[in-house]
Structure 1
Amino acid sequence: MVRFFRTTAIAAGLLVASNPVFADDLVTIMELAMRNDPTLRQAEAQLNANRTQLDMARASILPQANATFSEQRQNSGLAGDISYTELPASTRRYSLGLSQALFNLSSWYNYQGAKDAERAQILNFQAQEQDLIIRVATAYFNVLRAIDDLTTRRQEEEASQRQFERTQQREEVGLVAITEVYEAQAVYDLARNNTILAQDTLATSYEALEAITGQPHPNIDTLVDDFPAEQVEGDMERWVSEALNNNPQLLAARAAVEAQTEVTKARRSARLPTVNLQGGYQYVDSTANQGTDGSVRSAGAIEGVSLSVQVSIPLYTGHSLTAQQEQAEYNLVAQQEAATLARRQTTQNIRNAYRRVNTDALVINQRQQAIVSAEAALNAIEAGYEVGTRNIVDVLQSRQQLFVALRNYSDARYNYVIDSLELKRRAGVLTPQDIIDLNEWLTDESESATQ
């Protein structure tokens, strides 16, 4: 993870050091998310915990050593003897044991499987890192989406209020019927209600962003108006090939198959003999005992070294080895099917993402034109209303269509940004550099207003 995010951390530091910050930009928020996002921190802790499985598997093929020390003291005497005499004795024992597996295929295959399993875990964590980029970007641009939506809702409310007040004045002098006042008021009431809902949506969007970074972001940079929306470079099959070679979730599924294959080999080889080298050293020191006749008996010190080769062959284990082997084989089939499913889903997802980005680029251009057309239509209908060829309903509907076109255009821009990042994530090539590049298209409106 350190290597994956190092580019973002360095770049963010340079940006903060070189420019005065008036609002939080995308790189700053990403850097905060790297440190504070609980989902990523949990995934990192789980990765570190799972890595201990490799150490435990490696331990079974490494030398094992142990040392022991014991000391025994006892007092004894002749039973029934009136003149009881103690016979004290003590023994100290030191020993050192060493063992090394010379031939144990089951342990070796388990170790190889643990290495593949660790590789799968690292790849899954890389997928979590890329998911963080998507979550941050989605939350960030959802805030901007909600800001734009609230802006257009307020503009629509103000326009509806002006139209309502104007219609009231026209009705008071007898130029229009009371029904037009009712229609204008209904549109204004609905616009006011939509503004209230948009305010709540914006607050929710801010909360979602804060939940990732752990800090509030009341002021963030906005997307510039001339942000380019272009078709995806390269054909679809090139992106499919890229995804099949780089998608971390797919690579993790393949690594899991390799890990389970090694585990299956380990279960099959559990019936084979195991050969272990055993070595030991022992030192025993016994103190003297004084007998009833006053004599002294001493065992003295004894030491010895042993070396042996132990061969173990499992003959009958109550069919447990057979059951473990069958379980491993079934698990292997399950992992293989999971990898097949991951491959198909990756192919499907990358194709859908590719088409979605291209569609977004076309939609943005069309929605720009829709705004121009809606403005022209509204101007024409308002002119017709002034001369009596159009009614108030036509005006109200035309104005609503204009604001709908404005909101649709805003949605299309943010959809394009998020879908472009999602395409790279599906292909497995999404990196923090993409966030740094995207950040260049953001601007602080408060800073721009002062320049």
Structure 2
Amino acid sequence: MLRKTLLPLLLLAPLAQAVAAERATLMSVYAQVVEHNSDMAAARENYLARREAVPLARARLLPQVALDAEAGDVRSDRRQVEQRSGSLYRLSLDQPLFDLSRWFDYKAAQSENEQAELDFSAFQQQLILDTASSYFDTLLAEDNLATAKAELRAFDRQLQQTRLSYDAGLSDQNDMLSAQASFDRASANLIDSQRRSEDAYQALMRLAGQAQPALAGIRHSLPVQAPVPERAEAWVEQAMAQNLRLRASQAAVSQAGQTLRSSKADHLPTFNLAVGYAEGDSDLMDSSAHFGQRSGNQRDSSVMVQMKLPLFSGGGTSARVRQATHELARTEHGRTSLEREVLEGSRNAFRAVVSDVEQVRARRQSIISSQGSLRATEAGYEVGSRNIVDILDAQRDLYNAVRDYNVSRYAYIVDSLRLKQLAGSLSPEDLRELAGYLKLDYEPERDFLPSDLRG
């Protein structure tokens, strides 16, 4: 049921765009990916091509009707030269009555059609995850760039204060050099963050097929909750039953099994109904031995049941059976390997989301603790119990905590989507739900921290 409803949702997703006036949103980017991504276009054409396997196989079970027409001169040169002109029409119908090989080919084509649909759906799910990953990677890069800018400003202020203290004789050269080194490291971090931000936008442009404006950011109020159900085995069971790649591999096994049956059926007799009707010049219809003995038009009709029993085909039939047997074994081994992969992946993804939930909370608390530590260190410096190196270390710890917090909250979003993908339930609705927490006026330099934690 999931497979039947998933395709229309994904194919109609561009109709549900939510495009901001000046900022790109998650749904607007996804709509562009569906419309412009070349891999998506190739996957769609591959799916449309593969689903023609069923009508092609069905056609071999249905009547084959053909009309032949001839017109021309017939010349005979025996005792004397004779030449006549005429025309001939033949209508033939062939209908397989019993051909197990063709029937199993038809069943194999049905399995191929199911596999193609599941493969396409799995690709679409991967595209949803790729879109979200690229979008939030870009937001993370922007937040990290904003953090680097704030860090550089903080170290710049500290450097200026240290210079003033040094000029006034209140600090030594070691303090001056330490402050300068921290400022230089922050400058290098800013350059690296700028490059990473530009790279992230380039990756998003490649995915969506066009350049993107600034992105709407995600609110810090996004709920960070454990996955429901909260049991890993429940997600494993759902993944083993609904994972699209796994279901596609099962369809591949079914197709290989039907192909093997078709190959074995090549040893069996086949029965065919042949119906024919011909009308035309008698000399064109008969052999040249009777040329000129009859004149005028002639009508012939026939109904025959033809039986064909393969006796020897040079070993080709047996070779096809062996080939199909190995192919079936290959697909079964592939399915077993994929089952293990899905089993491991779903458990790992569940643990990742649970860990992300705890990390977001811990990282947020780490920011609070780092802010308190920095204030205490600055107060200690004022009374002479702390030195400039302690302040620089406290500032560095604070901004590292901010980076870790943003990494964990974006990892939570992507890991949650990955868990749903493994369980076979990921759909555009998950993106729409996330889009509800977007902040269209998100400014990274202001919003890279929750409002209640801004200094």
TM over 0.5: yes
Contact preservation (8 Å) 1:364, 1:413: yes
Which residue does the alignment assign to 1:39?
A: 39
In structure 2, give the amino acid aligned to 1:437.
E
Q: How do 1:172-183 and structure 2 match up within 5 A?
A: 172-183=167-178
- Relative to structure 1, is the Cα distance of residues 129 and 406 closer, same or farther in structure 2, using a 3 angstrom cutoff? same
**C-alpha displacement at 1:182, in angstroms?**
1.3
Tell me the residue number matched to 1:108: 103
Equivalence for 2:63: 63
- Matched residue type, 2:103: W
Q: Distance in 1 between matches of 2:37 and 2:355?
A: 32
Larger Rg: 1
Q: Distance in 1 between matches of 2:234 and 2:78?
A: 95
Please state how far the C-alpha of 1:147 moved relative to its aligned partner: 0.6
Task: Return the letter of the residue paired with 1:344.
Answer: R
232, 241, 262: which one aligns with 1:266: 262
Equivalent runs, 1:350-369 vs 2, <5 Å:
350-369=346-365
Secondary structure at 1:299 match in 2: coil
In 2, Cα distance between equivalents of 1:363 and 1:421: 17
Distance 1:314 1:76, change over 3 A: closer
Q: Could you say what secondary structure the match of 2:353 adopts? A: helix
Measured after TM superposition, the shift of residue 52 of structure 1 is: 2.1
Partner of 2:221: 226
Distance 2:264 2:77 in 1: 60
SS of 2:386's equivalent in the other structure is coil
Partner residue of 1:5 out of 7, 10, 13? 10
Report what 1:293 is aligned to.
Answer: none
Structure 2 CA distance for aligned equivalents of residues 172 and 5 of structure 1: 66
Specify the SS of the correspondent of 2:51: helix
The one of 209, 234, 245 equivalent to 1:249 is: 245
Match in the other structure for 1:146: 141
Shift of 1:51: 1.7
Amino acid in structure 2 at the alignment position of 1:435: L
For residues 9-20 of structure 1, the aligned pairs below 5 Å read 9-12=14-17, 15=18
1:75-126: CA deviation from partner (whole Å, max 9, x where unpaired): 67899xxxxx985421312111111110000110011011011101100110
Partner of 2:450: none
Alpha-carbon contact 2:145-2:190 (below 8 Å) kept: yes
User: CA–CA distance in 2 between the matches of 1:308 and 1:392?
Assistant: 104
Q: Deviations over 1:260-300 (max 9, x none)?
A: 11111111111000001111111122699xxxxxxx98621
Q: Give, in whole Å, the separation in 1 of the partners of 2:149 and 2:389.
A: 20
- Shift of the 351–287 alpha-carbon distance from structure 1 to 2, 3 Å rule, reads closer
Q: Is the aligned partner of 1:403 residue 2:395? A: no
Which stretch shifts more, 277-286 or 203-212? 277-286
Task: Quote the Cα distance in structure 1 between the aligned partners of 2:141 and 2:86.
Answer: 82
State the 1:215 CA deviation: 2.2
Q: Following superposition of structure 1 onto structure 2, how do residues 330-369 of structure 1 map, counting pairs within 5 Å?
A: 330-369=326-365
Matches within 5 A, 1:293-442: 299-442=295-438
Displacement of 1:22 in angstroms is 3.6
CA contact (8 A) 2:7 2:121 kept: no
Alignment partners' CA distance in 2, 1:78 and 1:431: 80
1:282 matched to 2:287? The reply is no
Alignment of 1:173-252 (within 5 A): 173-234=168-229, 235-252=231-248
Aligned equivalents of 1:90, 1:251: Cα separation in 2: 64
Q: Name the counterpart of 2:24.
A: 24
AA of the residue aligned to 1:359: S
Give 1:292's aligned residue: none
> 1:381 touches 1:390 (CA, 8 Å); kept in 2?
yes
Matched-pair contact (CA < 8 Å) for 2:14–2:34: no
**Worse overlay, 31-40 or 112-121:** 31-40
Q: Tell me the CA shift for residue 387 of structure 1.
A: 2.3
Whole-Å separation in 2 of the counterparts to 1:249 and 1:24: 31
How far off is 1:11 after superposition?
3.9
Are residues 107 and 76 of structure 1, via their aligned partners in 2, closer, same or farther at CA, if it must alter by over 3 Å? closer
Q: Unaligned 5+ residue runs, structure 1?
A: 80-84, 289-295
| Unpaired stretches in structure 2, ≥5 consecutive residues | 1-5, 285-291, 447-455
Residue matched to 1:73: 73
Runs of 4+ in 1 over 6 A off after TM superposition: 75-79
Provide the TM-score with structure 1 as the length reference: 0.91
Q: Distance in 2 between matches of 1:215 and 1:357?
A: 32
Whole-angstrom distance in 1 between the partners of 2:328 and 2:10: 34
Question: Which of the residues 93, 105, 122 maps onto 1:98?
Answer: 93
- Alpha-carbon distance in 2 for matches of 1:195, 1:145: 14
The 3 A distance-change label for structure 1 pair 78 and 230 is closer
| Identity rate, percent | 32
In the aligned structure 1, how far is the partner of 2:404 from the partner of 2:426? 27
Tell me the equivalent position of 1:155. 150
1:57-87 CA distances to partner (integer Å, 9 max, x unpaired)? 11211111111111222567899xxxxx985
What is the alpha-carbon distance in structure 1 between the residues aligned to residue 83 and residue 127 of structure 2?
72
C-alpha deviation, 1:354, in angstroms: 0.6
SS of the residue corresponding to residue 303 of structure 1 reads strand
- Counterpart residue type for residue 181 of structure 2: A
Q: Work out whether residues 11 and 436 of structure 1, in 8 Å CA contact, stay in contact via their aligned partners in 2.
A: no
Contact (CA 8 Å) 2:14, 2:32: kept in 1 or not? Answer: no
The structural deviation recorded for 1:397 is: 1.1
Residue 335 of structure 1 deviates from its aligned partner by: 0.8
Q: Offset of 1:227 from its aligned partner?
A: 1.2
Partner of residue 52, structure 2: 52
Give SS of 2:91's match: strand
Q: For residue 197 of structure 1, what is the amino acid of its counterpart?
A: D
Q: Aligned to 2:210, what secondary structure does the other structure show?
A: coil
- In structure 1, give the amino acid aligned to 2:71: E
Shift of 1:312: 0.5
Q: Which residue of 1 aligns with 2:124?
A: 129
Question: TM-score, normalised to structure 2's length?
Answer: 0.90
Aligned partner of residue 295 in structure 2, secondary structure: strand
Quick one: distance in 1 between partners of 2:301 and 2:376?
A: 107
